[in-house]
Amino acid sequence: DTAVSQTPKYLVTQMGNDKSIKCEQNLGHDTMYWYKQDSKKFLKIMFSYNNKELIINETVPNRFSPKSPDKAHLNLHINSLELGDSAVYFCASSHPAGGLEKLFFGSGTQLSVL
């Protein structure tokens, strides 16, 4: 019954590897997001995606790419992982509300790059 679910919850990997984090929402929302939360708890937008538009934060390295097989899923692929990628990654979704969208977050994926 989880509204926004992401897997895995923990991901430990070596530098240089490629990894993916999956996200699924069963709320029927049109827009999905990926946020990165660093060690200082700063939550920064990475991507916003609906079936019409992908909005990319220009500060996100192109090693990160979102992939959406359908409206209910937005997966995050990361190539050539670096130490600085260690963080908690949150998936979220929302229904269109004229810029007043209420975000529903997944439980987060703690990524540790060694």
Partner 1 sequence: GQNIDQPTEMTATEGAIVQINCTYQTSGFNGLFWYQQHAGEAPTFLSYNVLDGLEEKGRFSSFLSRSKGYSYLLLKELQMKDSASYLCAVSASGGSYIPTFGRGTSLIVHP
Q: Quick check: 105 binds partner 1 (CB under 8 A)? A: yes
Three-class SS state of 75: strand
Q: Distances from the Cα of 53 to the Cαs of 4, 33, 37, 50, 81, in angstroms?
A: 20, 12, 23, 5, 26
Contact flags string 75-104 toward partner 1, x per CB under 8 A: ---------------x-------xxxxxxx
Tell the smallest beta-carbon distance from residue 17 to partner 1 (Å). 25
Using the minimum distance from each CB to partner 1, give the nearer residue, 14 or 39: 39
CA 107 to the chain's CA centroid: 11
Euclidean distance between CA atoms 89 and 99, whole angstroms: 23
* Residues 44-63 interacting with partner 1 (rule: CB under 8 A): 44-45, 48, 55
Identify the residue among 16, 26, 27, 42 touching partner 1 (CB under 8 A).
Answer: 42
Identify the residue among 15, 27, 43, 54 touching partner 1 (CB under 8 A).
Answer: 43
**Residue 111, token pair as written in the block:** 């990524």
Please give the biggest Cα pair distance in the chain.
42
Footprint of partner 1 on this chain (CB under 8 A)? 33, 35, 40-45, 48, 55, 90, 98-108
